[in-house]
Amino acid sequence: MGKKVSVLVAFLVATFFNEAFAGEFYKLYPLWLEYAYRLLALVLISAGLFVCFSVFNTLRGGKFGLPWAFLLMALVTIFIRTLLEVLTVFDIAYFQAYVFAGIYILFFLLLLVGFILYKIGLE
């Protein structure tokens, strides 16, 4: 039974392929809540970016400079993603979901490399 369902689901996914735009994935209602959420996320990521940049400037010459550079790049990546999301929510620009998925993957890769380099620097 499980194989039949899996084959059927795979067939349906392959057959009914449409391009999806990222703004269609999840909507918050009422609309003001969605605006507040997106703008708050942008503000909090900006604050994290500022703190990370401060730490990076302080530790730039030491062993921890490279890991913090990766963490800073990860935060810049997620800031850009959130900015694109805000543009989508405010109906200024639309982006395909592949853009957001690619930016998320890049964010997590940069974050992971930064944490691994930080751990290596601690040993």
Q: Which residues pair with 96 in a beta bridge?
A: 21
pTM for the structure as a whole = 0.74
Backbone angles phi, psi at 21, to 5 degrees: -95, 145
- The CA-based angle 17-86-76, given to 5 degrees, is 100
Banded pLDDT at 15 (limits 50, 70, 90): low
- At 31, is the pLDDT very low, low, confident or very high (cuts 50, 70, 90)? confident
Question: How far is residue 22's CA from residue 100's CA, in Å, rounded to a whole number?
Answer: 7
**Model pLDDT for residues 56-97, shown as the tens digit of each residue:** 888 776 666 788 889 999 999 999 999 998 998 888 888 888
Helix axes 65-89, 97-122, angle to 10 degrees: 160
**122 or 84, which is more confident:** 84
Q: Which residue has the higher pLDDT, 1 or 108?
A: 108
Q: Does position 21 have pLDDT exceeding 80, yes or no?
A: no
pLDDT of residue 20: 55
